[in-house]
Amino acid sequence: MKPVDPRLLRYAGAARGFLAASALIGVVQTAVVVVFAWLLTDAVTGAIAGRDVTASLLWLLATALLRGLLIAASDAAGTRAAAKTGMQLRSALISAVGRLGPGWLAQRNQTALAVTAGHGLEALDAYFARYIPQLVLTVIATPVLVAVMWWQDWPSGLTAIITLPLIPLFLILIGMATRTVQTRQWQTLQRLAARFADTVQGLSTLRLFGRDRRAADRIEVTADEYRRETMKVLRFSFLSGFAMELLASLAVALIAVSVGFRLLSGDLTLEVGLFVLLLAPEAFLPIRQVGVQFHAAAEGVAATEDVFEVLDAARARVQMQDVSTDAGGIAGNAPGIRESILQVGPADAAGAADAGALVVDGLRVRELPPVSFAAEPGTITLIEGPSGAGKSSLVAALRGAADFDGAAAFDGHDIRGLSPAAWLAWAGQTPGLMRGTVAENIALGDPAPDADRIRETLDAACAEGIDPALELGVQGSGLSGGQAQRVAVARALYRQASDPRRVLALDEPSSALDPDTEARLWRSLRARADAGAMILLVSHRRTARDIADHVVTLGVNA
């Protein structure tokens, strides 16, 4: 683990500011330590010599108060920096996930990612408030104090220089062993969170098949494993702390014994000897504290490493997209579609010249056959084919939920470089509703929901009988399957209505509808297309052909 990861300074401006503040506070603290040791030496030797030490004691009290204020200021700055850095990293993480797209997210453990963004980044408090200040003090205070010791008494300074490297050497050795158990502890916590979330989500199914008790037992086993890993980390922490204290105590003892013998022999004055003895523990204190706080900060650092992995992936994706854009991207200037029904196979499809057209050329998801077609505003393009032909995979590729080969462009821009939310309004086979009112589900993500538009889209989705104020439970409970599907369609319609240039993509929107409701939905979609909307409709229903301008049939050779 790096003491300070350069990526932390790159992605979090608050961390850069805190490092500068810590360095300034560290310089002042170092000066205060030297002054405090000198004033205390002067007070003790003056009292022994019978001098008036009132002024020295007052200055000593002021110096001690200033040192306390500097420590409090360092803690306060660290706490604020931890909060700001956590907020900046969390915001950057959310933005990076948005850039990487749902396809990348689908391959990740989303619960573990949530633990990292929540509990993990909250653990940065120890890293900023205690670990970094001690690390900065080690870099600033320790060399200065050793130099002052050498200046006053070179044998004591030489002893400090010889013994100081032993502490980081043992810290590195212990840290290498500790790193392994801390990594296992963090991974176990993520696995525990993921298992708990999966169990809660599938609890009704587990109870239906009588497996709920078994799932609870597995959670208990994982929790016990996390307890054991945590105890291992604590054992290593205690071992590390003991080693640091032992080495530092032995080093200070060597200096003290040397000073004592030379005081007895008269080779050293009391002022110099006492001054050096007061500085010796202070010289070793920062590096001892680095070892102690290393373990407290490790969890937050492990979380930041997971965050940096995501941010680096997003950065690489953006750079790759920039290179692709510089290379020319996709030009959507082929002639318009001439045939109303395209049998999609190995043959290439024609492009579209109109502004806002969607051009797909040789798009291939995994081992599925390549797909080519073009869609224009004011048309309905029907995607049909047998089960397993790749209809949903095609839509998943367009919305960034699946990687693909080939080319796809909207309005002349490669869709890989576009945010799906910017050009696509989508409703899938799973409604994906959440707890809240129907209106909140429809206007999801809209900071200023339009009540009239919500009502209009419900009517257009043939859900006029559903009250927008109806409160839904977890995962949209409270609606039938057909009603939930119509609310999902209404959400897509609402999103498309907010920006008519968006492509409306509906994946099997009538699978849970009766024939009469389906016919009404088809008429509503046809009317929206006639008003200028571009619609991609995935359906296995033959009735969908009645409203389609173009039909793309998958799984059929030309």
Q: Tell me which of 133-137, 438-442, 464-468 is least confident.
A: 133-137
Task: Specify the pLDDT at position 523.
Answer: 92
The answer on 489 and 349 residing in a single domain is: yes
Residue with tokens 């889209």: 457
- Average pLDDT of the segment spanning 256-277: 84
Q: Tell me which of 26-40, 98-112, 167-181, 381-395 is least confident.
A: 167-181
Return d(Cα 154, Cα 158) in angstroms, integer. Answer: 6
Structural domain range at position 432: 341-553
Closest CA to 250 of 229, 220, 270, 280: 280
- Average pLDDT of the segment spanning 174-191: 72
Return d(Cα 141, Cα 31) in angstroms, integer. Answer: 9
pLDDT of residue 171 exceeding 70, the answer is: no
Return d(Cα 478, Cα 471) in angstroms, integer. Answer: 8
The answer on 196 and 302 residing in a single domain is: yes
The answer on 507 and 392 residing in a single domain is: yes
pLDDT of residue 282 exceeding 60, the answer is: yes
Task: Specify the pLDDT at position 173.
Answer: 67
What is the radius of gyration, based on Cα positions, of the chain? 34
For residue 69, the tally of other CB atoms under 10 A from its CB is 12
pLDDT of residue 19 exceeding 80, the answer is: yes
Of 307, 322, 349, the last residue of a domain is 307
The answer on 525 and 469 residing in a single domain is: yes
**Amino acid identity at 338:** R
Place 347 in a pLDDT band, splitting at 50, 70 and 90. Answer: very low
Task: Specify the pLDDT at position 524.
Answer: 92
Q: Which CATH number does the domain housing residue 425 bear?
A: 3.40.50.300
State the chain's mean pLDDT as an integer: 80
Q: What is the number of structural domains in the chain?
A: 2
pLDDT of residue 330 exceeding 50, the answer is: no
Task: Specify the pLDDT at position 331.
Answer: 36
Residue 278 lies in a domain: yes
9 vs 347, residue with greater confidence: 9
Q: Residue 248 has which token pair?
A: 């530092």
Closest CA to 7 of 291, 306, 297: 306
What are the respective helix, strand and coil percentages of the chain, to the nearest 5? 65, 10, 25
- Average pLDDT of the segment spanning 397-421: 84
Closest CA to 421 of 98, 175, 126, 162: 98
Q: Residue 355 has which token pair?
A: 């502004």
The alpha-helical segments, DSSP class H, found in 327-389 are none
Residue 1 lies in a domain: no
CB 104 within 8 A of CB 259: no
Q: Residue 356 has which token pair?
A: 């806002």
241 vs 273, residue with greater confidence: 273
Closest CA to 137 of 66, 55, 33: 33
Return d(Cα 143, Cα 71) in angstroms, integer. Answer: 20
The answer on 298 and 348 residing in a single domain is: no
Q: How much of the chain, in percent, has pLDDT values that exceed 70?
A: 87
**Amino acid identity at 388:** G
Residue 131 lies in a domain: yes
Residue 347 lies in a domain: yes
- The pLDDT tens digits of the residues spanning 292-327 come to 676 666 666 777 777 888 888 878 877 765 654 454
pLDDT of residue 180 exceeding 80, the answer is: no
Task: Specify the pLDDT at position 547.
Answer: 92
The answer on 142 and 32 residing in a single domain is: yes
104 vs 347, residue with greater confidence: 104
pLDDT of residue 396 exceeding 50, the answer is: yes
Which of 198-233 are b and which e, b meaning 16 or more Cβ less than 10 Å from the residue's Cβ?
ebeeeeeebeeeeebeebeeeeeebeebbeebeebb
For residue 318, the tally of other CB atoms under 10 A from its CB is 14
Could you report how far apart the first and last alpha carbons of the chain are, in Å? 58
Residue 66 lies in a domain: yes
85 vs 323, residue with greater confidence: 85
Task: Specify the pLDDT at position 353.
Answer: 39
In order, the DSSP letters of 453-513 are HHHHHHHHTT-TTS-TTPEE-GGGTTS-HHHHHHHHHHHHHHHHHHSTTSEEEEESTTTTS
The answer on 199 and 93 residing in a single domain is: yes
pLDDT of residue 344 exceeding 60, the answer is: no
Task: Specify the pLDDT at position 333.
Answer: 34
Starting at the edge strand found earlier in the chain, the sheet holding 413-414 runs 371-375, 358-364, 405-410, 413-414
21 vs 105, residue with greater confidence: 21
CB 226 within 8 A of CB 192: yes
Closest CA to 504 of 441, 450, 435, 423: 423
Dihedral (C-alpha) 147, 153, 156, 160: value to the nearest 10 degrees? 0
Q: Is the pTM of this model over 0.85?
A: no
The answer on 261 and 402 residing in a single domain is: no
Residue 401 lies in a domain: yes
Closest CA to 8 of 439, 307, 216: 307
The answer on 278 and 145 residing in a single domain is: yes
Q: Tell me which of 114-123, 258-267, 412-421 is least confident.
A: 114-123
The answer on 424 and 294 residing in a single domain is: no
448 vs 122, residue with greater confidence: 448
Place 505 in a pLDDT band, splitting at 50, 70 and 90. Answer: very high
Q: Which CATH number does the domain housing residue 294 bear?
A: 1.20.1560.10
pLDDT of residue 4 exceeding 80, the answer is: no
Q: Residue 389 has which token pair?
A: 């032909």
Q: How much of the chain, in percent, has pLDDT values that exceed 90?
A: 12
Task: Specify the pLDDT at position 558.
Answer: 40
CB 272 within 8 A of CB 152: yes
Q: Residue 7 has which token pair?
A: 């990526």
Q: At what angle do helices 154-163 and 212-265 cross, to 10 degrees?
A: 160
The answer on 372 and 488 residing in a single domain is: yes
- The pLDDT tens digits of the residues spanning 530-540 come to 999 999 999 88
Residue 315 lies in a domain: no
Residue 323 lies in a domain: no
Task: Specify the pLDDT at position 174.
Answer: 65
The answer on 63 and 117 residing in a single domain is: yes
Place 548 in a pLDDT band, splitting at 50, 70 and 90. Answer: very high
